[in-house]
Amino acid sequence: MKRLIVAILLVFLALPSWAVEPDEMLSDPVLEARARALSKEVRCVVCQNQDIDSSNAGVARDLRILVRERLVAGDTDQEVLDYLVARYGDFVLFKPPLKPSTYLLWFGPGIVFLLAVFAGGRALHRARNTANAATLTAQDEADLDAYLASKEGDQ
């Protein structure tokens, strides 16, 4: 039990260790907040599944400082991202932009879903039709009655 408590405490001890170092931070809290939000959308080009906000890589630190410089210079969020994309490509963005080459990525799942609904609907429709076909027509009933009557006559 004691061990568990220590383990849990240790987990929380690790939480406040961010990669952003104090000397990088801006004194303006509004700009700093924007920088933090932007940094979370930018991929670190060295450790590729981390954002630059949480990465300790040298290039990530350089990019964090760069983002802050651009914000201080008066760039909008979009201008900062465009600046990075111009150098590193769409790859630095965690959220891929909507453009012809990414249409399949954005709309593919929706299209597959619609196809599935269409195919499923058709299959259900057909299943219901076959179920209906299993009931007898008037002619079948008449034939059957006649057959049964002839069988009864045999007995």
> What does the binding site for other proteins look like in residue numbers (CB under 8 A)?
45-46, 48, 58-59, 62-63, 66, 85-89, 91
Spatial CB neighbours of 57, under 8 Å, sequence gap ≥ 6: 44, 46, 47
65 and 53 Cβ atoms separated by less than 8 Å: no
94 and 101 Cβ atoms separated by less than 8 Å: no
CA distance 123 to 125: 5
Q: Closest Cα partner for 22 from 65, 75, 73?
A: 65
CB of 87 to other proteins, least distance (A): 5
CA distance 71 to 89: 20
CB of 131 to other proteins, least distance (A): 20
> Which CB, 112 or 148, lies closer to other proteins?
112
> Which CB, 78 or 101, lies closer to other proteins?
101
> Which CB, 62 or 141, lies closer to other proteins?
62
What tokens appear for 12 in the block? 């929380």
Task: Report the interhelical angle of 77-88 vs 29-39 (nearest 10°).
Answer: 40
CB of 44 to other proteins, least distance (A): 9
CB of 66 to other proteins, least distance (A): 7
> Which CB, 20 or 84, lies closer to other proteins?
84
CB of 5 to other proteins, least distance (A): 40
> Which CB, 31 or 85, lies closer to other proteins?
85
